[in-house]
Structure formats: structure tokens, C-alpha cells
Amino acid sequence: MPQVNGVAFMLTFTEKERRKRDIWQIIDAIHEEAMRTIPGVRRIQIKEMGVDVMATAAAPIHILIAGADFQVLHQLGQQLLEICRTDPVLKEHFYQPALTWTLNPNAYELVLDLPKLRELGLTPLDVAQQAYYALAGGLTSEFYRLPNVRQVTIRVRLKEEQRRHLGDLENLFITTPNGRQIPLRHLAEIRQQPVPTVVEHDNLRRVIGLTGYYRPGKMPSMDLAIEIMARAYQHLNFPPGYTIEMRGDMTQMMDSFRRLFASLLLAVVFMYLILVAQFRSFLGPFQMVASLPLELSGVFFGLWLMKMHFSSVSIMAVIVLSGMDITTAILLIDLIMRYREQGVPRDEAIKRACPERLRPILMTSCTTMAAMVPLAFFPTGGLDAYQSLGVVVIFGLIIGTILSLFDIPIMHTYVDDFQQWLHLLLKRRTNSFPGEVTV
């Protein structure tokens, strides 16, 4: 039966507007007091849920040391942990440093005397099972029943005073097939062999992880992880075959960026194909898609103004914003094309369409921005993680809409001129024959 060596629980705080301290100050205070007052505690990690959407199962900062031998991995991990606790820069910016596992010194291995086992009719499995069930116990097939009490299973094992010391293990009796009982020390040599508390793998390699956290206003995640790896290369002597790698927020964020950028590209392609079918032209939709990059100026300006980072939430907001921005282009181009089908000259059609479409475009944009104001500027109830979504949509719509009102008519004239030039070029080539000169 495995022993309990860890506990996990969730802390729910009141809203930040009703607290004097922010969540980071509370977390650091709890961690400091727990490490100081709880005897025998090895590792305490407290991470936020709902504030950081990139929170991983381990920690935002996760450094892996990979190699073959547990002893060497543990030694390198302890040295790196000590560097993080003593280095002035890392001590100031790196919070809750800890290793993902350590070596358990209270572990032993049995070196069995195989010839003697064969003489007694025993196998290594027989010895291991009898020792395990005597010390850890086994569940019976019956239930302990009491009136009006929920039934429970019964575990049978030696008394605690009979399995407390190493000598108790040496004197443990092993029963042979013919009923003889022989002390374990006559069948095996008991050696102390520290083992990892957790066997951790990454891509089929044995690893040990150094985990920790960063804080707002301090060194950001990527810079802090790079600084830790730089200290490791500077102070640690890695044997051949041992490497150090970065995990945590950075690898997860890069993978999310790759997926979201692929989604953004796919969204633009689908929008282009839909516009091709709607306007029955391959070149015409380019004048609408060309307005999409204009929104990025508003996106980056808004993130800079609000002191936020470009994250996976921001990319999702850009995908949403692209659909909104293309609506402005469709409204303008659709009315321009209607006027031109009625025989209105191109420039005159642009002059008529733009003022007429200005009101619905501004109404659509202003309504969307008004809906995003609470999320962007007054997030509550754990919505801090999605604040950048509101910021991206609002500033992207403001700048994108203003620039699109100028860009789309200009792009329409350029694309129309190019289509006319291309049409004349193809017409001349069609009407030209070998030996004939076209003037």
C-alpha cells in the first residue's frame, strides 16, 4: 500500500478589489511561513489558477536536466537548486524554487542468494511477495462489518513494532513450500540503496526538474529561465550525455503560438475563398484581405499602452478581430460594386459609398468595443487572464477601422487598375498572331 507523502488543496480568495494585498503577496507569505513552520516539509508550491492561462501542470519556469544515472541527476539538481537560492539575482526574481524529486535514503535492496533459494524451493518472487505483504500489508476478500457503520476492507500486516527497524526486516521469516520458516538475513543481503521519490521521464529520458515562479514587475519568464540556464552552464560540470533544457511556459507558449498562427492563416485563407465565391473574382478579395495587417498596429499599441505581453490569448483575439475587420471591407466594397454595376464611374462610386457606409461601420465597431470595455479595463471574477483579449479587440478595432476607411478605397482603385491592365494585356496577346503586328 503506498504511503501518503503529499497533499493538494485549493485556496479561494475574495475579489482583488476587496483585498489589501494582491494574490502574489498572499502566495509568497503563505509559502514562507509554511516552509518555516512545518517540520520535515520538502517542497511547497502554490500556483495561481485563473490569473495565468499559461500555467502548466508543473510551474511556469521548468528546467530539465536529462541523463542516465539517478545519482548524478540528483547531484546536478541539488547544485542548481543551491545556485538559485544563493545567487543574488536569482534569489530576488525566482520564487519557490524546488526539485521535482529527490532521493529517498530510507530504501533498501535485497541481494538474494539464488543457489540457496533453489535448494529451498523458493523463487525471488516468493521472497519479494512475502516481504511486501508482511511490511506493507494486503487486503482481504472480506469486509469488517459493524451495525450502522459503512463497511471497510481489512488490511493484514505485521504490527508496527514488528516492522519499525532494519533488524526487523532482517529477522523477517520467509516460509518455504514445505512449511519451514527461515530468517530473511539467511537468504539475502540487505543493502541501502537510495531511490528517487518519483521516476520522471521526458522523451524516454530520465530527468530531474527544477521548477519555480516569477512575479509581475520582476524579471519575465523567458529572461529568468535563460538566466538560470546561463548560471547552470557557468557553475555546473555536466558529464558526457547529460543536458539541460527549458520547459514550462516558454515551450508551451511556443507550441500554442505555432498552433494559433496556423489557425490564423487558415482563417485568412477561408475568408479569401468565401470572398472569391461572393465577388466572383480572384483579385478583388485581395483589396479586402490587405486591410487585415492594419489592425496589428492598433493591437501592439494597445498592448504596449496597457503594459501587457503578446500571448496566446492575444492571438485568439487577433483571429476574432480579423473577422470583424473584414466586415468593414465587405460593406464598403459591396456598395461600391453595386454603384458600378449601375453605371456609376469608379471614383464617383467610391465617393458615394464611403459616406453611406460610414454610419453602419461605426455603429458595428462601437457596439463591439463597448461590450469589451469591462473585460479590457475592469476585469473581475478571475477574468484577468482574458484582459488582453478585450484590449486587442478594442484598440485593433479603433485603429483598424480608421485606417481601413482610407485603405480600402485606395486599394480598390489599385486593384481595379491592375485588373484593367491585365485584361488589356491578355486581350492583346489573344488578338496577336504570328507575323502580325498590333499597334
Q: What is the DSSP string of 14-58?
A: PPGGG-SS-HHHHHHHHHHHHHHHSTT--------SSS-TT--SS
In the predicted model, is pLDDT for residue 1 greater than 50?
Answer: no
Between 59 and 187, residue with greater pLDDT = 187
SS3 of residue 126 by DSSP: helix
Please count the CA atoms within 13 angstroms of the CA of 150 that sit on its side-chain side: 1
Query: How far is the C-alpha of 24 from the C-alpha of 40, rounded, in Å?
Result: 25
Please write the tens of the pLDDT for every residue from 73-117.
999 999 999 999 899 988 888 888 889 888 888 888 889 989 998
- Residue range 211-237: average pLDDT? 86
| Domains in the chain: boundaries | 16-103+197-247, 108-193, 281-431
Of 51-55, 266-270, 387-391, 410-414, the poorest mean pLDDT is in 51-55
The CATH number for 281-431, chosen from 1.20.1640.10, 3.40.50.1370, 3.40.50.1000, 3.60.70.12, is 1.20.1640.10
Cell of 307: 503594459
What's the pLDDT score for residue 76? 93
- Say which residues have a Cβ less than 8 Å from residue 276's Cβ, sequence separation at least 6: 282, 284, 285
Averaged pLDDT for residues 171-180: 89
Contact 391, 373 (CB under 8 A): no
Higher pLDDT, 220 or 67: 67
Half-sphere exposure of 241 (CA within 13 A, CB side): 7
Angstrom distances, CA of residue 365 to CA of 170, 301, 359, 398: 80, 18, 10, 8
Task: Report, as an integer, the average pLDDT of 390-416.
Answer: 87
Percent of the chain with pLDDT over 90: 8
Backbone angles phi, psi at 252, to 5 degrees: -65, -40
In angstroms and rounded to an integer, the radius of gyration of the C-alpha atoms of the chain is 35
* pLDDT exceeds 50 at position 436: no
Same fold, 16-103+197-247 and 281-431: no
Between residues 437 and 225, the one the model is more confident about: 225
Helix (H, G, I), strand (E, B) or coil at 8: coil
pLDDT at 269 over 50: yes
Reported as a pLDDT band with limits 50, 70 and 90, residue 2 is very low
Among the ranges given (5-9, 38-42, 175-179, 259-263), the one the predictor scored with the smallest mean pLDDT? 5-9
As a CATH number, domain 108-193 is 3.30.2090.10
Q: What is the pLDDT of residue 413?
A: 87
Helix (H, G, I), strand (E, B) or coil at 102: coil
* pLDDT, mean over the chain: 82
With a cut of 70, say whether residue 196 has pLDDT above it: yes
**pLDDT band at 144; cut points 50, 70, 90:** low
Bridge partners (DSSP) listed for residue 69: none
Is the per-residue pLDDT at 66 higher than 90?
yes
Coil vs helix vs strand at 182: strand
Is the pLDDT reported for residue 225 higher than 80?
yes
Please give the helix or strand (H or E) that residue 173 lies within, else none.
strand 173-175
Confidence band of 284 (pLDDT split at 50, 70, 90): confident
pTM score of the predicted model: 0.65
Q: What pLDDT is stored for residue 328 in this prediction? A: 83
How much of the chain is in helix, strand and coil states, percent to nearest 5? 55, 15, 30
Residue 264 backbone dihedrals phi, psi, to 5 degrees:
-65, -45
Residue 57: pLDDT above 70? no
* The CATH number of domain 16-103+197-247, selected from 3.30.70.1440, 1.10.10.60, 3.20.20.70, 3.30.420.40: 3.30.70.1440
Share of the chain above pLDDT 70, in %: 92
**Helices (H) then strands (E): counts for the chain:** 13, 13
Place 53 in a pLDDT band, splitting at 50, 70 and 90: very low
pLDDT at 142: 66
Spatial distance between the Cα atoms of 303 and 315, rounded to a whole number of angstroms: 12
